[in-house]
């Protein structure tokens, strides 16, 4: 529809960030750097009574919740974690615009007591935007362990804003924080932030622009706006234009003699000067009010010297990966078997019930042998590995190991012209590619985020692990190797997937997604003991159940369709067999057969049903089946012409082929583009076909030679 009259009025930006509130409710914004415990503060204040969504027009998740103080309910808005408000990323833009135009009654800036000097940079920037600021110094318990002593009262006096010392994980200081922020919102306490003074040259320009801009500020501090105009922040200029009206802003800017974007100061130099002045002030505060014993961080430094070193960093990372897979594979077997026994045991009961009710055989087949059996397969195969993998992943995350993995991998992704954070999204993709796609939001650059989305499929998800593990165990492993060898074999496939990811990222960045790799600030958090309660909640509710629910919704109806294809015959063969014969000539060229290719196509709804479909098609028994043992599986496969080459190509095709339907739907939602969704399906498929064709040609060449 384009711009409308209403959308260009003074209230446009206010409406964009408008928060519905009841009479008497205060809106409190929560800002802070990543890894400061901001989410913990949010959860402690709201008691997990929250809902999430996207900012209007942005792919940045917000969370809003309510907290009660003095018998009255108030709204808490969790802003995206950001290091500054210079708005070089979507997160910074959203945080800045909400503080400017969101109409919040107060802002809490959360900082980490163990690295306060780094976090105060954002606090000073927020203080330039609004006077209603409360500084929350979180993790004081961690600081105490590290023998870091902070004089909160001294900092409060020096900054001119309320300062509250907290340990949100233990609930320490939460009541005081509520009291402080509500007093500020009510106006019972009036903070008087003591702002940083910049160089005389900058201050002179600010002074000159201040009076000219004060008429159009409309709630935004003129000093801060003058700084941004000097900075030539064109995005802010556009935002202000939509807030106060483009013509009015243009007239004022012209009258002030400001040329936005090519002004009096070179942007980088000005930002450096601002940052330098702020950090000088922070150093002054640190000298006066913070005391850190030199040996306090010695343990973390010693660990980091090994974990992030060029020699040991990546080997340690792969060792951890192998151990996590080994625990997942070995640990999932028993619960998976128990779950399968229970669910397939119910199947017999349901069939008896249907017979008792005289339900037609075809209906019993569609509902029980098709829909229910698929459901049982997906739940018994997916849930146990996810229930083990996601908590392990979250523990590594809580421990502070994952940011160090990103640090170690950054130079490899940099060489591939991609973003270092891409490896974090890949790690999430091991559990579920759809979850990995969603996690790409942590990458600020749209170009690099798109590369991460398009390549996330090259790491195998839980749905593909059963196929990889079963085939590796049957064909690639000999002798009594125990559980570790299948884990190593699958780990090798993952190494291939990472290699393909880097190669494709490089090719994309040199062709359809050209651009310069962006730098990013990665703050290495201190090593912390994980909170088991939060780990279980985050892993089971936010990840395992969420992913399983989406897979079930897609896979269960597909089971009914597949049963119909296997049981409706034309001539002397089922539709499933006719379709396999159609694909067979092409499949043979890439070292597979028509049934394998068909199983992958019909497995589009969920990768975990590929192997059952394949067995059902081979045995033509009209319904999905369980394979009793690896030996029985090997017999079925070899009887249908499988060789070591077929096994290798099936594993490679499983690793590299198109994403499942759930992942494709997630890509469509995240990119908002049908074109990129199609690319995300065609690109890996083409690579899978090329790789399998290459291995087949090499194998045939070797056969001819020897």
Chain centroid, CA 368 distance in Å: 36
Q: Residue 494: its pLDDT value, please?
A: 84
Average the pLDDT over 425-450 and give the result.
Answer: 79
Identify the three-state secondary structure at position 692.
helix
Q: What's the rounded Cα separation, in Å, for the pair 102 and 507?
A: 41
pLDDT, mean of residues 421-438: 79
The dihedrals phi and psi of 22, each to the nearest 5 degrees, come to -85, 165
What pLDDT score was predicted for residue 253? Answer: 65
Question: pLDDT, tens digit, for every residue of 239-296?
Answer: 666 666 666 666 666 666 655 555 455 655 666 777 788 888 888 888 888 887 655 5
**Residue 5 CB: number of other CB atoms within 10 A?**
6
* Integer Cα distance of 536 and 543 in angstroms: 10
Angstrom distance (rounded) from CA 159 to CA 125: 12
Can you tell me the distance from the alpha carbon of 337 to that of 385, in angstroms, rounded to the nearest whole number?
Answer: 12
CA 55 from chain centre, in angstroms, equals 16
Residue 433: pLDDT band with limits 50, 70, 90: confident
CA distance 255 to 35: 44
Q: Answer for the pair 607, 554: CB distance below 8 angstroms, yes or no.
A: no
82 close to 33: Cβ distance less than 8 angstroms: yes
Q: Which of 77, 76, 159, 67 is nearest to 119 (CA)?
A: 159
The count of other CB atoms within 10 Å of the CB of residue 253 is 20
Cβ 98 vs Cβ 71: under 8 Å: no
Q: Is 1 exposed, middle or buried (0-12, 13-18, 19+ CB in 10 A)?
A: exposed
Comparing 82 with 16, the larger pLDDT belongs to 82
Annotated binding site for GTP: 32-39, 78-81, 138-141
Question: Confidence band (pLDDT; 50, 70, 90) for 309?
Answer: confident
pLDDT (0 to 100) of residue 61: 52
Q: Which pair of structure tokens corresponds to residue 4?
A: 């409308």
- Report, as an integer, the average pLDDT of 335-344: 83
Structure tokens at 691: 């790789």
Q: Give helix 246-256 / helix 234-244 axis angle, nearest 10°.
A: 120
**pLDDT single digits (tens) 445-478:** 778 889 999 999 998 887 787 788 778 877 765 5
Three-state DSSP state, 149: strand
Q: Please, which residues have CB within 8 angstroms of residue 231's CB and are 6 or more apart in sequence?
A: 86, 263, 265, 267, 270, 271
Q: What is the pLDDT of residue 17?
A: 60
pLDDT tens digits for 362-399?
888 888 888 887 778 777 766 777 778 778 877 887 78
Alpha-helical (H) ranges within 400-421 are: 401-415
Rounded Cα distance, 594 and 687, in Å: 19
Distance spanning both ends of the chain, measured CA to CA: 68
User: Which residues does residue 135 pair with via DSSP β-bridges, in sequence order?
Assistant: 109, 163
CA-nearest of 281, 254, 385, 399 to 330 is 385
Percent of the chain with pLDDT over 90: 18
Residues pairing with 573 in the sheet: 570
CB 241 within 8 A of CB 288: no
What are residue 605's phi and psi, to 5 degrees?
-60, -35
Task: Collect all residues with Cβ–Cβ distance below 8 Å to 338 and sequence separation of at least 6.
Answer: none
Per-residue buried b or exposed e for 587-612, using 16+ beta carbons within 10 Å of the residue's own CB: beebbbbbbbbbbbebbbbbbbbbbb
- Which tokens sit at 505? 């990222």
Residue 436 CA to residue 427 CA, distance in Å, equals: 7
Q: Please indicate whether the domains covering 5-186 and 200-292 agree at the CATH topology level.
A: no
Closest listed residue to residue 623, CA positions, set 674, 586, 576, 669: 576
pLDDT band at 626 (very low <50, low <70, confident <90, very high): low
Binding residues: 32-39, 43, 46-47, 78-81, 138-141
More reliable by pLDDT, 533 or 141: 141
| Separation CA 614–CA 594 (nearest Å) | 10
Q: Is 186 helix (H, G, I), strand (E, B) or coil?
A: helix
Element containing residue 688 per DSSP (H, E): helix 674-705
Model pLDDT, residue 475: 75
pLDDT attached to residue 243: 64
Q: Where are the alpha helices (DSSP H) in 524-629?
A: 532-537, 546-567, 575-589, 594-602, 610-619
| Residue-range domain boundaries for the chain | 5-186, 200-292, 315-518+539-705
Strand pairing report for 569-570 and 573-574: antiparallel
Q: Could you tell me the CATH superfamily of domain 5-186?
A: P-loop containing nucleotide triphosphate hydrolases (3.40.50.300)
pLDDT tens-digit map of 153-195: 999 999 999 999 999 888 899 999 999 999 999 989 899 998 8
Q: How far apart are alpha carbons 373 and 613 in whole angstroms?
A: 11
Residues annotated in a binding site for Mg(2+): 43, 46-47
Of residues 203 and 517, the one with the higher pLDDT is 203
Per-residue pLDDT at 7: 36
Q: Exposure pattern of 473-504 as b/e (b: 16+ CB <10 Å)? A: bbbbbeeeeebebbbebbbebbeebbebbbeb
Residue with the bigger pLDDT between 29 and 247: it is 29
Q: What percent of the chain has pLDDT over 70?
A: 79
Query: Torsion angle of alpha carbons 274, 277, 281, 286, nearest 10°?
Result: 90
What is the rounded average pLDDT of the residues 489-514?
A: 87
SS3 633: helix
What local confidence, expressed as pLDDT, does residue 13 receive?
Answer: 43
Q: What is the mean pLDDT of the segment spanning 639-661?
A: 91
* Short-list 235, 232, 283, 281, CA closest to 259: 232
pLDDT for the residue numbered 108: 94
Element (H, E) at 378: helix 373-399
425: part of which helix (H) or strand (E)? helix 422-431
- The tokens for 639 are 């009887």
Lowest-confidence segment of 213-217, 351-355, 442-446 by average pLDDT = 213-217
Structure confidence at residue 163 (pLDDT): 94
Closest to 494 measured CA to CA, from 645, 371, 322: 322
Of the pLDDT bands very low, low, confident and very high (cuts 50, 70, 90), residue 629 is low
What mean pLDDT is reported for the chain?
79
At the top level of CATH, the class of 200-292 is mainly alpha
- Tens digits of per-residue pLDDT, 178-188? 999 999 999 89
Task: Write a three-state SS string for 449-501.
Answer: HHHHHHHHHHCCCCCCHHHHHHHHHHHHCCCCCCCHHHHHHHHHHHHHHHHHH
Sign of CA dihedral 76, 81, 87, 91: negative
The two most distant CA atoms of the chain are separated, in Å, by 91
pLDDT of the residue at 165: 94
Q: How far is CA 186 from CA 127, 128, 140, 180, 598, in A?
A: 18, 20, 27, 10, 66
Q: What is the pLDDT of residue 473?
A: 75
Ranges of H-type helices in 640-673? 644-656, 661-671
Token pair of 160 as six digits: 């001119």
What's this model's pTM, rounded to 2 decimal places? 0.62
Residue 252: which residues within 8 A CB-CB, separation 6 or more? 212, 213, 215, 216
Report how far apart, in Å, the C-alpha atoms of 705 and of each of 695, 700, 702 are. Answer: 15, 9, 5
Among 12-26, 608-622, 631-645, which stretch is predicted with the lowest mean pLDDT?
12-26
Q: At what angle do helices 246-256 and 200-213 cross, to 10 degrees?
A: 130
Q: Is the pLDDT of residue 104 over 80?
A: yes
Asked if 377 and 624 count as a contact pair (C-beta separation under 8 A), the reply is yes
Q: Which residues contact 86 (CB under 8 A, 6 or more apart)?
A: 92, 231, 233, 271
């Amino acid at each position: 529809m384009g711009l409308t009259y209403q959308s260009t009025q003074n209230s446009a930006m206010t409406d964009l960030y408008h928060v519905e509130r009841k009479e008497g409710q205060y809106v409190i914004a929560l800002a802070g750097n990543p890894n400061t415990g901001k989410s913990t503060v949010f959860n402690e204040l709201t008691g997990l009574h929250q809902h999430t969504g996207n900012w209007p027009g942005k792919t940045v998740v917000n969370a809003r919740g309510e907290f009660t103080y003095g018998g009255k309910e108030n709204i808490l808005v969790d802003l995206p974690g950001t290091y500054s408000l210079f708005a070089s990323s979507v997160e910074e833009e959203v945080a800045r615009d909400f503080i400017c135009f969101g109409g919040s009654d107060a802002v809490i800036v959360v900082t980490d007591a163990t690295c306060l000097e780094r976090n105060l940079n954002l606090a000073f920037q927020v203080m330039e935007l609004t006077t209603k600021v409360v500084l929350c110094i979180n993790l004081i318990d961690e600081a105490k362990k590290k023998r870091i002593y902070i004089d909160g009262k001294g900092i409060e006096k020096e900054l001119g804003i309320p300062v509250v010392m907290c340990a949100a994980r233990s609930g320490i200081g939460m009541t005081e924080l509520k009291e402080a922020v509500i007093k500020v919102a009510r106006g019972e306490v009036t903070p008087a932030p003591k702002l940083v003074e910049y160089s005389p040259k900058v201050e002179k320009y600010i002074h000159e622009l201040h009076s000219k801009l004060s008429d159009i500020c409309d709630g935004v501090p003129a000093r801060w706006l003058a700084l941004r105009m000097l900075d030539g922040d064109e995005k802010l200029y556009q935002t202000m234009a939509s807030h106060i009206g483009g013509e009015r802003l243009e007239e004022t800017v012209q009258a002030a003699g400001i040329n936005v974007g090519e002004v009096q100061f070179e942007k980088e130099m000005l930002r450096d000067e601002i940052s330098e002045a702020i950090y000088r002030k922070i150093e002054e505060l640190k000298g006066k009010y913070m005391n850190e014993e030199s040996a306090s961080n010695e343990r973390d430094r010693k660990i980091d010297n090994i974990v992030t070193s060029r020699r040991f960093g990546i080997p340690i990372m792969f060792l951890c990966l192998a151990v996590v897979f080994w625990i997942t594979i070995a640990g999932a077997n028993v619960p998976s078997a128990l779950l399968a026994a229970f669910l397939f045991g119910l199947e017999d009961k349901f069939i008896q019930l249907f017979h008792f009710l005289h339900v037609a055989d075809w209906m019993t087949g569609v509902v029980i042998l098709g829909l229910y059996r698929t459901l049982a397969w997906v739940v018994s195969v997916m849930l146990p590995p996810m229930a083990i993998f996601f908590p392990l992943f979250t523990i590594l995350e809580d421990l502070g190991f994952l940011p160090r993995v990103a640090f170690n991998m950054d130079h490899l992704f940099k060489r591939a012209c991609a973003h270092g954070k891409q490896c974090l999204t890949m790690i999430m993709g091991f559990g579920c590619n759809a979850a990995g796609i969603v996690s790409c939001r942590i990458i600020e650059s749209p170009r690099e985020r798109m590369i991460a989305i398009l390549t996330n499929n090259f790491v195998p998800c839980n749905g593909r692990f059963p196929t990889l593990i079963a085939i590796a165990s049957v064909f690639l492993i000999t002798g009594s190797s125990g559980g570790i060898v299948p884990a190593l074999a699958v780990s090798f496939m993952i190494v291939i997937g990472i290699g393909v990811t880097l190669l494709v990222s490089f090719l994309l960045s040199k062709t359809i997604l050209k651009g310069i790799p962006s730098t990013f600030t990665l703050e290495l958090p201190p090593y912390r003991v994980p909170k088991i309660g939060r780990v279980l909640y985050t892993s089971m509710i936010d990840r395992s159940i969420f992913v399983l629910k989406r897979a079930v919704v897609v896979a269960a109806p597909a089971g009914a369709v597949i049963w119909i294809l296997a049981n409706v015959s034309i001539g002397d063969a089922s539709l499933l067999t006719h379709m396999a014969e159609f694909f067979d000539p092409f499949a043979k060229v890439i070292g597979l057969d028509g049934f394998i290719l068909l199983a992958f196509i019909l497995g589009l709804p969920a990768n975990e049903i590929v192997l059952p479909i394949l067995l059902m098609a081979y045995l033509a028994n009209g319904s999905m089946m369980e394979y009793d043992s690896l030996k029985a599986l090997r017999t079925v496969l070899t009887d249908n012409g499988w060789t070591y080459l077929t096994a290798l190509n099936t594993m490679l095709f499983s690793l590299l082929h198109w994403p499942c339907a759930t992942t494709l739907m997630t890509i469509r939602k995240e990119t908002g583009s049908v074109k990129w969704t199609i690319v995300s399906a065609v690109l890996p498929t083409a690579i899978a076909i090329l790789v399998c064709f290459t291995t087949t040609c090499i194998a045939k060449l070797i056969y001819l030679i020897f």
